Amino acid sequence: MSIDPLNFYNYLTFNGINFFTGVPDSLLKEFCLCIDRETNDESHIIAANEGNAIALASGYFLAKESIPLVYMQNSGLGNAINPLLSLCDEKVYSIPMILLIGWRGEPGIKDEPQHTKQGLIQLDLLSTLDISYEVISQKDKKYKEKVNRAIAHAKAKSRPFAILIKKDTFSKTEKNTETPNISSMYREEALEIILRNLDKDDVVVSTTGKTSREIFEIRKNNHQKHEKDFLTVGSMGHCSSIALGIAINKPRRRIICIDGDGSMLMHMGSLASIATLKPDNFYHIIINNGVHESVGGQDTAAKDIKISNLTASLGFKKNIKVETKKKLESSILSFLSEGGPSMLEIKTTAGSRSNLGRPSIPPIRNKKDFIEFLKG
């Protein structure tokens, strides 16, 4: 029987864990929804990236001398390694915290290719980082004992302790409130309009999650091949830098980066690099539905940010926001016809088809086909 996320949360708070921060994860979805429902804005902060979350938790400890909890997908551990080693380690500031990590790519469990290596080395990586850990699974009757050991170790040693969460550990829970629709347009509808208006030599770099999945299916349904699209199946937050690297080395090709709000926020400093280098063939399209949709629908800060003001202040030449299909259809060609770097923010409502598939072409094949297309 799966663990009730509310019982898990209550046991943590009973043992003095009252501050939560991190980046939502699909394996931790039910727990993240629970703490979102049970806490206020000051005791639960959804961070832009996992390194930020470690830093936030460190600040909380310094202010309160109380142990915080940081949640993340194991793919996000890479973002967290720097502050874990250079800030929290016992040889530096020795800051205790609990790391709640969703174990994607666990050996023997079917998962997507971007999680395979991370899952395989997960335990060895924690050992290399000298971070002790416990593993909790769906039928774990001793999870409270493991939580006790984790908290006791963090307190006694004044250092981080990890709890790995296996697939399907938590039972279903309800989201506190429905996310208000910020547009009448769905992301897939916006993608159809974008792809329909591209030239045959245009290059697409798309962000991880449902955006790349929908692009793949749109191409498939239109009987098109996939060599024009680099589908960034992992590496959340990095698709704009991938696109920038292509743009400055293929100056005669239009590079269309199709990003998401959560991805853009995760490594927002890349916007400054784009603006500084000023590639006139770079077109940054940010699809903003205001939530981390692929991992549970938790809010992102982008719902309250005027992204066009941000990119304009950095020096992007054109900065547009659209909220309807009609406006997007009337704006997309003029947006692509002028030199970049330019930014188009598309407001969409959260949600996707229940039968949305996944790319059937392996990443290595996508890479080879994409490189050949770039040579043309």
**pLDDT-above-70 percentage for the chain:** 97
Does residue 160 share a domain with residue 191? no
> HEC states along 260-285?
EHHHHHHCCHHHHHHHHHCCCCEEEE
How many domains, the chain?
Answer: 2
Distance from C-alpha of 84 to C-alpha of 53, rounded to nearest angstrom: 11
Does residue 205 share a domain with residue 158? no
User: 225 in a domain, yes or no?
Assistant: yes
244-257: average pLDDT? 98
User: 291 in a domain, yes or no?
Assistant: yes
Q: Label residue 179 by pLDDT band (50, 70, 90).
A: low
Does residue 205 share a domain with residue 312? yes
- The predicted-structure confidence for 212-222, as pLDDT tens digits, reads as follows 999 999 999 99
- The predicted-structure confidence for 343-354, as pLDDT tens digits, reads as follows 999 999 888 888
- The predicted-structure confidence for 187-209, as pLDDT tens digits, reads as follows 999 999 999 999 999 999 999 98
Tell me what pLDDT residue 292 has.
77
Does residue 200 share a domain with residue 55? no
- Phi, psi at 56, each rounded to 5°: -60, -45
Q: What is the largest CA-CA distance in the chain?
A: 62
Q: Label residue 159 by pLDDT band (50, 70, 90).
A: very high
User: 181 in a domain, yes or no?
Assistant: no
Tell me what pLDDT residue 305 has.
85
Decide: pTM greater than 0.85: yes
User: 361 in a domain, yes or no?
Assistant: yes
Q: Label residue 177 by pLDDT band (50, 70, 90).
A: low
Listed residue (98, 28, 38) closest to 68, CA to CA: 98
Does residue 144 share a domain with residue 41? yes
User: 161 in a domain, yes or no?
Assistant: yes
Does residue 197 share a domain with residue 145? no
Higher pLDDT, 48 or 294: 48
Higher pLDDT, 184 or 43: 43
Does residue 204 share a domain with residue 323? yes
- The owner of tokens 């000298």 is 130
Tell me what pLDDT residue 302 has.
79
Tell me what pLDDT residue 251 has.
97
Does residue 236 share a domain with residue 145? no
- The predicted-structure confidence for 267-307, as pLDDT tens digits, reads as follows 999 999 999 999 999 999 999 987 777 666 677 877 788 99
Does residue 195 share a domain with residue 123? no
The domain spanning residue 86 has which CATH number? 3.40.50.970
Does residue 342 share a domain with residue 217? yes
3-state secondary structure at position 21: strand
- The predicted-structure confidence for 314-344, as pLDDT tens digits, reads as follows 999 999 999 999 999 999 999 999 899 999 9
Tell me what pLDDT residue 291 has.
78
Listed residue (23, 88, 20) closest to 263, CA to CA: 23
Domain with 230 in it: 187-375
User: 19 in a domain, yes or no?
Assistant: yes
Note whether 120 and 181 are within 8 A (CB).
Answer: no
152-163: average pLDDT? 98
Helices (H), the chain: 5-14, 29-38, 50-64, 77-83, 113-120, 122-128, 143-157, 187-196, 210-221, 239-247, 261-266, 269-277, 307-314, 325-337, 363-375
34-43: average pLDDT? 90
Q: Label residue 175 by pLDDT band (50, 70, 90).
A: low
Look at 63-72, 173-182, 269-278, 313-322 and tell me which has the smallest mean pLDDT. Answer: 173-182
Does residue 331 share a domain with residue 369? yes
User: 173 in a domain, yes or no?
Assistant: no
Tell me what pLDDT residue 76 has.
93
Instruction: With both helix axes pointing from N to C terminus, report the angle between 5-14 and 143-157 in degrees, rounded to the nearest 10.
Output: 30
Which of residues 134, 165, 196 is at a domain's end?
165
Does residue 149 share a domain with residue 254? no
Distances (CA, A) of 344 to 236, 259, 284, 331: 19, 10, 6, 9
User: 176 in a domain, yes or no?
Assistant: no
Which of residues 116, 134, 165 is at a domain's end?
165
Tell me what pLDDT residue 182 has.
63
Tell me what pLDDT residue 1 has.
80
CA-based torsion, 118, 19, 133, 28: positive or negative: negative
Q: Label residue 60 by pLDDT band (50, 70, 90).
A: very high
Tell me what pLDDT residue 151 has.
98
